[in-house]
Amino acid sequence: DVVTGVGINVNGRKYGLEVEPRTLLSDALRDGCGLTGTHVGCEHGVCGACTVLIEGRPVRSCLMLAVQADGQDVTTVEGLAGADGLNPLQEAFRAEHGLQCGFCTPGILVTLTAHLADHPDATEAELRHAVSGNLCRCTGYQNVIAAAVRAARSASAR
Amino acid sequence: MTTAADRTIVTAFEDNDGKPLGHGRMLRKEDPRFVRGRGRYVDDVQLPGMLHLAILRSPMAHARITSVDTSLAEAHPNVRLVVTGAMLAEKGLAWMPTLSNDVQAVLATDKVRFQGQEVAFVVAEDRYAARDALELIDVEYEPLDPVVDVRTALSPSAPVIRDDLEGKTDNHCFDWETGDAESTDAVFAKADVVVSEDIVYPRVHPAPMETCGAVADYDAVDGKLTLWSTTQAPHAHRTLYAIVAGLPEHKIRVIAPDIGGGFGNKVPIYPGYVCAIVGSLLTGKPVKWMEDRSENLISTGFARDYIMRGEIAATSDGRILGIRTNVLADHGAFNGTAAPVKYPAGFFGVFTGSYDIEAAYCKMTAVYTNKAPGGVAYACSFRITEAVYLVERIVDCLAYQLQMDPVELRMKNFIKPEQFPYETKTGWVYDSGDYAPTMRLAKELAGYDELRAEQAEKRKRGELMGIGVAFFTEAVGAGPRKDMDILGLGMADGCELRVHPTGKAVVRLSVQTQGQGHETTFAQIVAEEIGIPPQDIEVVHGDTDQTPFGLGTYGSRSTPVSGAAAALVARKVRDKARLIASAMLEVSVADLEWSKGVFHVAGDPSASVTIQDIAMRAHGAGDLPEGVEGGLEAQICYNPENLTYPHGAYICVVDIDPGTAKVKVRRFVAVDDCGTRINPMIIEGQVHGGLTDGVGMALMEMISFDEDGNCLSGSLMDYLIPTALEVPDWETGFTVTPSPHHPIGAKGVGESATVGSPPAVVNAVVDALKPFGIRHADMPLTPSRVWEAMKGRPTPPI
Rounded Cα distance between B10 and A126, Å, is 29
Q: What is the mean pLDDT of the segment spanning B254-274?
A: 98
Rounded CA-CA distance B39/B398 in Å is: 50
B271 in a structural domain: yes
The Cα–Cα gap between B364 and B401 comes to 26
Which residues neighbour B574 within 8 Å (Cβ) at sequence distance 6 or greater? B529, B530, B594, B611
CB-based contact B254:B269 (threshold 8 Å): no
Asked whether residue B693 falls in the same domain as residue B714, the answer is: yes
Strands (E), B133-283: 138-143, 172-179, 193-204, 213-219, 224-229, 252-255
Cβ neighbours of B292 in A, within 8 Å = 42-43
| B724 contact residues in A (CB cutoff 8 A) | 128-129, 131-132, 134, 141, 144-145
Q: What is the ipTM of this complex?
A: 0.98
Chain A residues with CB under 8 Å of B127 CB are 27
Domain that holds residue B237: 42-144+211-258+266-299
Among B32, B258, B685, beta carbon nearest to A97 = B685
Q: Which of B555, B741, B758 is nearest to B648 (CA)?
A: B758
Give the DSSP H/E element, type plus range, for residue B636: strand B633-638
Chain A residue with the nearest C-alpha to that of B297: A42
Residue B721 at interface with chain A, using a CB cutoff of 8 Å:
yes
Residue from A155, A79, A144, A80 nearest A116 by CA: A155
Task: Decide if B67 is inside a domain.
Answer: yes
pLDDT range class, residue B17, cuts 50, 70, 90? very low
Q: What is the pLDDT of residues B295-316, one digit of tens each?
A: 999 999 999 999 999 999 999 9
Assess A21–B contact: CB distance below 8 Å, yes or no: no
Phi, psi of B574 (to 5 degrees): -65, -35
Domain count, chain B: 3
Q: How confident is the model at residue B266 (pLDDT cuts 50, 70, 90)?
A: very high
pLDDT digits (tens, 9 = 90+) for B451-494: 999 999 999 999 999 999 999 999 999 999 999 999 999 999 99
B38 close contact with A: CB closer than 8 A:
yes
Query: Is residue B14 predicted with pLDDT exceeding 60?
Result: no
Domain boundary among B638, B654, B682: B638
| Nearest C-alpha neighbor of A74 from the set A28, A116, A40 | A28
Does pLDDT of B8 surpass 50?
no
- B632 shares a domain with B552: yes
Instruction: Evaluate if residue B16 carries a pLDDT over 60.
Output: no
Asked if the C-beta of A106 comes within 8 angstroms of chain B's C-beta atoms, the answer is: yes
- Is B204 within the bounds of a domain? no
| pLDDT tens digits along B714-740 | 999 999 999 999 999 999 999 999 999
Is residue B4 very low, low, confident or very high in pLDDT (cuts 50, 70, 90)?
very low
Whether the pLDDT of residue B2 is over 50: the answer is no
Quick check: A138 and B32 CB within 8 A?
Answer: no
> Which of the four pLDDT bands, split at 50, 70 and 90, describes residue B6?
very low
Question: Is B30 part of the contact surface with chain A (CB cutoff 8 Å)?
Answer: yes
Note the pLDDT tens digit of each residue in B533-553. Answer: 999 999 999 999 999 999 999
Whether the CB of B730 is below 8 Å from some CB of chain A: the reply is yes
Task: Residue B83: give its domain's CATH number.
Answer: 3.90.1170.50
B58 part of a folded domain: yes
For the cut 70, the answer to whether the pLDDT of residue B437 exceeds it is yes
Same structural domain for residues B611 and B675? no
B207 and A137 in contact by Cβ < 8 A? yes
Closest listed residue to residue B631, CA positions, set B569, B567, B580: B580
A63 at interface of B, judged by CB pairs closer than 8 A: no
- For residue B456, give the CATH number of its domain: 3.30.365.10
Residues B458 and B516 in one domain: no
Nearest chain A CA: its distance from B28 CA (Å) = 7
Partner-chain contact A142 B729, CB within 8 Å: yes
pLDDT digits (tens, 9 = 90+) for B642-665: 999 999 999 999 999 999 999 999
Q: Are residues B130 and B275 in the same domain?
A: yes
Q: What is the pLDDT of residue B246?
A: 85
Give per-residue pLDDT as tens, B390-425.
Answer: 999 999 999 999 999 999 999 999 999 999 999 999
The whole-number pLDDT of residue B784 equals 94
B516 min Cα distance to partner chain A (Å)? 6
Per residue in A134-144, pLDDT tens?
999 999 999 99
Q: Are residues B231 and B98 in the same domain?
A: yes
Contact B209 A101 (CB under 8 A): yes
pLDDT tens digits, residue range B750-786?
999 999 999 999 999 999 999 999 999 999 999 999 9
Q: Is B228 on the interface with A (CB under 8 A)?
A: no
- Same domain (yes/no): B506, B457: no
pLDDT at B21: 57
Q: What is the pLDDT of residue A88?
A: 95
Same-domain pairing of B669 and B705: yes
Chain-wide mean pLDDT for chain B?
A: 95
B367 near B330, Cβ under 8 Å?
yes
Q: pLDDT tens-digit profile of B37-55?
A: 999 999 999 999 999 999 9
Q: Is residue B611 part of a domain?
A: yes
On whether both B513 and B460 belong to a single domain, the answer is no
User: B724 — contact with chain A (CB < 8 Å)?
Assistant: yes
The amino acid that residue B226 corresponds to is T
